[in-house]
Chains A and B, each alone.
Chain A
Amino acid sequence: NAGVMQNPRHLVRRRGQEARLRCSPMKGHSHVYWYRQLPEEGLKFMVYLQKENIIDESGMPKERFSAEFPKEGPSILRIQQVVRGDSAAYFCASSPQLDTYEQYFGPGTRLTVT
């Protein structure tokens, strides 16, 4: 059973460009979560999605950031007009539809804004 997959693993963008981060949850998992990690810090919650629905986006910056989890295909975290402060590791996690609260993380995408 493949784990959570994220791509790309590393992404370099210039200021002002757009960044698209993709996440494929574990097979059978319909809950997806995005977290951001700055160097030497713990992970910070950004958004929680189920198929075609955003459940909790309380951790998402109000501007430039958006997330989706379509009926078909991976979940996408989109950052428009990136700035240097967006440089971080972005992790996706998934959990199954059953009543469990265990989240399984992918390897992350390391975004560098130059």
Chain B
Amino acid sequence: GQQLNQSPQSMFIQEGEDVSMNCTSSSIFNTWLWYKQDPGEGPVLLIALYKAGELTSNGRLTAQFGITRKDSFLNISASIPSDVGIYFCAGLKRGGSGNTGKLIFGQGTTLQVKP
């Protein structure tokens, strides 16, 4: 099946540092989404990207939709302890009738922040 390769698999950083993670695919996606999941909870939508080359920010988070439509990255600036969690990228293909509904998820990046 389709896969998204997300890297790095895990990160352990100092509070205040910037973080960067990315997602690549062998096929094209029309929409890229970034989610954060805390233990025992469902994923929470952070940022949605709809156009190739689009750069979108949400507070300290910035995400970009790659020009080739096969990749996306997420940056977190000035990390804080509550940034701890698992970050997932997800790609969505848009079929002929519109929303195909099927999100393809990466394997996740586990972020740990040392105070």
User: Chain A: residues with CB nearer than 8 A to chain B?
Assistant: 4, 6, 31, 33, 35, 41-45, 48, 55-56, 58-59, 91, 93, 95, 99, 101-108, 110
Contacts and interface: CB of A to CB of B under 8 A. Distances in A.
B62 to A, nearest CB: 18
Interface residues of B, number: 29
B107 A41 contact: yes
Report which residue of B30, B44, B99, B108 has the largest number of chain A beta carbons within 10 angstroms of its beta carbon.
Answer: B99
A101 B92 contact: yes
A56 B103 CA distance: 12
Given A41-B108, A43-B103, A102-B45, 15 more contacts: A33-B101, A42-B6, A42-B106, A42-B107, A42-B108, A44-B105, A45-B104, A48-B102, A91-B43, A101-B33, A101-B48, A101-B94, A102-B33, A105-B35, A110-B40
Contacts of A91: 42-43
Nearest to A3: B42
A107 B41 contact: yes
A83 B4 CA distance: 28
Contacts of A42: 4, 6, 88, 105-108
Contacts of A103: 33, 45, 103
